Amino acid sequence: MQKPNDLEQTTSSSESATQQPIVTQAKPKKLPVTVLTGFLGAGKSTLLNYILSQNHGYRIAIIENEFGEVSIDDALIVTSKEEVVELSNGCLCCTLRGDLIGALTKLSQKKDKFDYICIETTGLALPGPIVQTFYLDEQVRNEYYLDGIVTVVDSKHIIQHLHHHHHEKKHGEEEEEEEEEENEAEDQVAFADRIIVNKVDLIDEDTKKKVLKKIRKINGLSPICETSHSKIDLSFILNIRAFDIDRVLNMDPNLLKEMDEHQHEEEHDHHHKHDHHDAEVTSYAIVKPGVVDKEKFEDWLLDLLTERGLDIYRTKGFLNVGEAKPLVVQAVHSLLDMRFFGEWKNNDTTNKLVFIGKYLDHEELNEGFNACLKQ
């Protein structure tokens, strides 16, 4: 099992954000990468063009991963035979249809020309493998860091994209294909660090409530912003350092409390334990006091992620293992990173651990976690 390298800290941790950043850059600076994902027609291209047209001070390089369709606004494109195109606003665009590592390597030869990368994925892309590229490929890891995954959701159609459990089976193949696509929409929401609920001007309040509830069930953690025409305050999606281990400490404890209460209600409502184990992606939070045995926990979580890593997309949390600092946990599938970091907020040393994935067996997760607590 491979652990990701420490992300370089170019600024001080969030607690001291008001002080001057500590600049420690002996190594060449790693560049931040934002991954834009979202189902077909959700508004990713509109968002990308909006980013390019704003005055945000970044020189952005774009990696387009669409199938043969150029979605960058024609007005911004300067024609060129190269795969890396300079846009008329000074940004670069790399329309490589090949693999991501190839595109990143190609762009790194022009690193003096930009200081930020946006990857626009195809509407059918699963975010997992993209995330893993940033941890598993050494050259990529040395030059870039993943800043965050931003998922654009089409609020008018998302419910039907996600509702594949409740319709009758149609004949054969067609159904399977549809099922595939719909799961991708679910995965994109599950992996998101920021969720943009777009096209809210096209739906009524009631539909919006349903959409938000559905998204929250899949991903109980990530901040949501509602938009029309993908217009957004860019500080919500750029330079968010969502994969920075200290940001995990900023998981909103109230949100976790709400998740916890919501889960208990659901468990009372369901008489059949198995209703919880269907293939839907959900979030589950464990919020418990006590001191965790670090070794036991590490063994348990590694076993769990090795065995169930494909079903468990994201794991985040902070634990009290009896040290002055919390043990911060970040995992993407079975890639695990655990470190002591930051400090307890308001001296609240409650353990908080969140899983996002499929077939989450709440009982099994609770029992496993409880077995790691020191008596």
**Which structural domain range is residue 108 located in?**
14-243
Least Cα distance to 280 among 147, 161, 200 occurs for 161
Q: How confident is the model at residue 29 (pLDDT cuts 50, 70, 90)?
A: confident
- Residues 129, 193 within the same domain: yes
Residue 4, domain member (yes or no): no
What pLDDT does residue 361 have? 92
Residues 189, 284 within the same domain: no
Q: Report pLDDT for 93.
A: 74
Q: How confident is the model at residue 138 (pLDDT cuts 50, 70, 90)?
A: confident
Instruction: Give me the pLDDT at residue 174, please.
Output: 45
pLDDT of residue 181: 44
Close Cβ partners of 152 (under 8 Å, ≥ 6 residues apart): 36, 37, 38, 42, 43, 44, 47, 196, 198, 230
What does the pLDDT read at residue 275? 45
Nearest 5°: phi and psi at 344?
A: -70, 135
Residues 222 and 304 in one domain: no
Q: Are strands 60-64 and 312-319 parallel, antiparallel or unpaired?
A: unpaired
**Do 69 and 112 lie in a common domain?**
yes
- Which domain-ending residue is among 173, 208, 243? 243
* pLDDT value of position 105: 85
Between 41 and 31, the higher pLDDT residue: 31
Q: In the predicted model, what is the mean pLDDT of the chain? A: 78
Predicted confidence (pLDDT) per residue in 254-271, tens digit: 666 677 777 766 666 554
Reply yes or no on whether the pLDDT at 310 is more than 80. yes
Give the pLDDT of residue 81: 59
- Give 312-325 pLDDT, tens digit per residue: 998 999 999 999 99
Average pLDDT over residues 273-283: 65
Lowest-confidence region among 11-25, 154-168, 183-197, 203-217: 11-25
* 182 vs 60: which has the higher pLDDT: 60
User: Which band of pLDDT confidence, cut at 50, 70 and 90, is reported for residue 243?
Assistant: confident
pLDDT of 101 reads 84
| Residue 260 forms part of a structural domain | yes
- Residue 158 sits in the same domain as residue 227: yes
List, for residues 165-208, the tens digit of each pLDDT value. 434 344 444 444 444 444 788 888 998 999 999 999 999 999 99
Check residue 329 and give its pLDDT: 92
pLDDT band of residue 148 (cuts 50, 70, 90) is very high
User: Is residue 98 situated within a structural domain?
Assistant: yes
The verdict on 173 and 270 lying in the same domain is no
CB of 356 within 8 A of CB of 281?
yes
Identify whether residues 37 and 122 lie together within a single domain.
yes
Q: Give me the pLDDT at residue 77, please.
A: 60
> Residues 198, 283: one domain?
no
- Is the model more confident about 92 or about 78? 92
Percent of the chain whose predicted confidence (pLDDT) is above 90? 33
pLDDT interval class at 242 (50, 70, 90):
confident
Domain stops at, among 243, 274, 290 = 243
Among candidate residues 182, 208, 243, the one where a domain is terminated: 243
Mind listing the pLDDT tens digit for each residue in 69-79? 556 666 666 65
Same domain, yes or no: 256 and 320: yes
CA atoms within 13 A on the CB side of 37: 26
Please report the pLDDT score of residue 177 as a whole number: 42
Identify whether 358 is part of a domain. Answer: yes
Q: Is residue 123 part of a domain?
A: yes
How sure is the predictor about 127, in pLDDT bands with cuts at 50, 70 and 90? confident
Q: For the ranges 25-39, 54-68, 74-88, 342-356, which has the lowest average pLDDT?
A: 74-88
Query: 331-351 pLDDT, tens per residue?
Result: 888 888 899 988 887 888 999
Average the pLDDT over each of 134-138, 143-147, 296-300 and give the range with the smallest value. Answer: 134-138
Q: Is residue 218 part of a domain?
A: yes
Residues 120, 202, single domain; the answer is yes
Instruction: Give the burial class of 144: count Cβ atoms within 10 A of its Cβ; 0-12 exposed, 13-18 middle, 19 or more buried.
Output: buried
- The mean-pLDDT minimum among 6-20, 102-116, 281-295, 338-352 falls in 6-20
Asked if residue 285 is part of any domain, the answer here is yes
Domain CATH for 123: 3.40.50.300
Q: How confident is the model at residue 278 (pLDDT cuts 50, 70, 90)?
A: low
Burial class from Cβ neighbours inside 10 Å (0-12, 13-18, 19+) for residue 79 reads exposed
Assess if residue 306 is contained within a domain. yes
Q: How many domains does the chain have?
A: 2
Residues 226 and 147 in one domain: yes
Q: What is the 3-state secondary structure (H, E, C) of the chain?
A: CCCCCCCCCCCCCHHHCCCCCCCCCCCCCCEEEEEEEECCCCCHHHHHHHHHHCCCCCCEEEEECCCCCCCCCHHHECCCCCCEEEECCCCEEECCCCCHHHHHHHHHCCHHHCCEEEEECCCCCCHHHHHHHHHHCHHHHHHEEEEEEEEEEECCCHHHHHCCCCCCCCCHHHHHHHHHHHHHHHHHHHHCCEEEEECHHHCCHHHHHHHHHHHHHHCCCCCEEECCCCCCCHHHCCCCCCCCHHHHHHCCHHHHHHHHHHHHHHHHHCCCHHHHHCCCEEEEEEEECCCECHHHHHHHHHHHHHHHCCCEEEEEEEECCCCCCCEEEEEECCEEEEEECCCCHHHCCCEEEEEEEECCCHHHHHHHHHCCECC
